[in-house]
């Protein structure tokens, strides 16, 4: 295995997440490759390849991954190779979703007596198996970072399971390891010392950035780990700045709303050693034409005012 570099020695992460949710077949075509090339023309130095296995519902411990559910190992490897050819470092980020639409942060196993520990054991066994599979793939393809979980709020209190899972990942993977908590959870996770970098989905409302920065600094300094945003972004819809996590927010397309969110975030975040940067959310595998950007209300910044805001900030 490779020896991971010190997380504190990393250059600022100026990244973008690509291709979620990673359904089988969506990365194995020229549209996806064209989209990745367009991403690489932006001032990014990292890309996250994100995809999701599936649970039947939030109380069912089995996890399906690989074809026909997720992108195949061959699709992932080919996209890692392309990203590397384009000069990007790669974070591999497998996660889970529920078929019934329940958020992964609400996974819960209970019986008539309360918490169902046997089902938690079964879930962690299935989840660890999936993580080990993709950690081995990340090692083979020389991904520079591996993310062991995303917004697993209800699973986070099971600290011993997470420590065992992270240890099993490190046995087969030699790059940097992170865990991605949800916004507001940074100070509650108790296993930050087991990973190389603290990361979060930093979907803070546009007016909360200034008050949140001192808390993030305190977390990073307390755990002696650098912190970065594994996810951060805002849909280009009216009102989304107040709830940037809500991809279903019904506001009308508003490109300036998205740009204002990015301006507020970049203005708030300091140039300090504990903060290692941004992995923006998100860039689709099938990219809309630039001339149609004004009609797009998604998180993607391509062809929108936010693209210029990000370019200025990252070019600095």
pLDDT in tens, 292-316: 999 999 999 999 999 999 999 999 8
pLDDT in tens, 232-258: 999 999 999 999 999 999 999 999 999
Let me know if residue 283 belongs to a domain: yes
Cis peptide before 255 (omega within 30 of 0): no
pLDDT band of 113, cuts 50, 70, 90:
confident
Let me know if residue 1 belongs to a domain: no
Let me know if residue 2 belongs to a domain: no
Classify the C-alpha dihedral 142-143-148-149 as positive or negative. negative
pLDDT of 98 above 90:
yes
pTM for the predicted model, two decimal places: 0.96
Domain count, the chain: 1
pLDDT at 6: 81
Residues 6+ apart with CB under 8 A from 316: none
pLDDT of 2 above 90:
no
pLDDT band of 4, cuts 50, 70, 90:
low
CA angle 98, 100, 101 (to 5 degrees): 70
Let me know if residue 93 belongs to a domain: yes
Percent of residues, the chain, with pLDDT higher than 70: 98
Average pLDDT over residues 265-281: 97
pLDDT at 111: 76
Let me know if residue 240 belongs to a domain: yes
Would strands 89-98 and 227-232 be described as parallel, antiparallel, or unpaired?
unpaired
CA angle 234, 33, 256 (to 5 degrees): 20
Let me know if residue 108 belongs to a domain: yes
pLDDT of 1 above 70:
no
Range of the domain at 247: 7-315
pLDDT at 5: 59
Structure tokens at 67: 């074809």
Spatial distance between the Cα atoms of 302 and 310, rounded to a whole number of angstroms: 10
pLDDT of 288 above 90:
yes
pLDDT at 115: 81
The closest alpha carbon to 22, from 84, 86, 78, belongs to 78
What CATH number is given to the structural domain containing 305?
Answer: 3.20.20.80
Average pLDDT over residues 205-220: 97
pLDDT in tens, 48-72: 999 999 999 988 999 999 999 999 9
């Amino acid at each position: 295995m490779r020896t991971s570099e010190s997380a504190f020695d990393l250059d600022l992460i100026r990244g973008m997440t690509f291709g979620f949710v990673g359904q089988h077949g969506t990365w194995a075509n020229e549209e996806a490759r064209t989209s990745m090339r367009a991403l690489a023309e932006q001032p990014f130095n990292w890309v996250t390849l994100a995809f999701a296995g599936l649970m039947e519902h939030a109380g069912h411990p089995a996890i399906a991954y690989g074809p026909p559910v997720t992108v195949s190992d061959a699709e992932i490897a080919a996209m890692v190779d392309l990203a590397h050819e384009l000069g990007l470092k790669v974070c591999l980020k497998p996660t889970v979703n529920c078929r019934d639409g329940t958020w992964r942060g609400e996974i819960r196993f209970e019986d008539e007596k309360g918490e169902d520990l046997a089902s938690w054991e079964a879930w962690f066994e299935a989840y660890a198996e999936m993580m080990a599979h993709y950690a081995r793939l990340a090692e083979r393809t020389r991904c520079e970072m591996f993310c062991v979980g995303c917004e697993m709020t209800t699973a986070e209190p099971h600290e011993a399971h997470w420590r065992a899972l992270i240890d099993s990942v490190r046995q087969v993977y030699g790059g940097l390891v992170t865990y991605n908590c949800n916004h507001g959870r940074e100070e509650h996770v108790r296993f930050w010392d087991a990973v190389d970098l603290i990361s979060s989905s930093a979907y803070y409302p546009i007016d909360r950035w200034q008050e949140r920065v001192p808390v993030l600094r305190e977390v990073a300094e307390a755990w002696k780990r650098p912190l970065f945003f594994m996810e951060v972004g805002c849909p280009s819809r009216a009102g989304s700045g107040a709830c940037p996590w809500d991809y279903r927010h019904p506001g009308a397309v508003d490109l300036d709303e998205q740009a204002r969110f990015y301006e507020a975030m970049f203005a708030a975040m300091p140039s300090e050693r504990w903060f290692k940067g941004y992995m923006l959310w998100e860039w689709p595998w099938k990219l809309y034409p630039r001339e149609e950007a004004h009609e797009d209300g998604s998180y993607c910044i391509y062809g929108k005012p936010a693209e210029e805001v990000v370019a200025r900030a990252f070019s600095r």
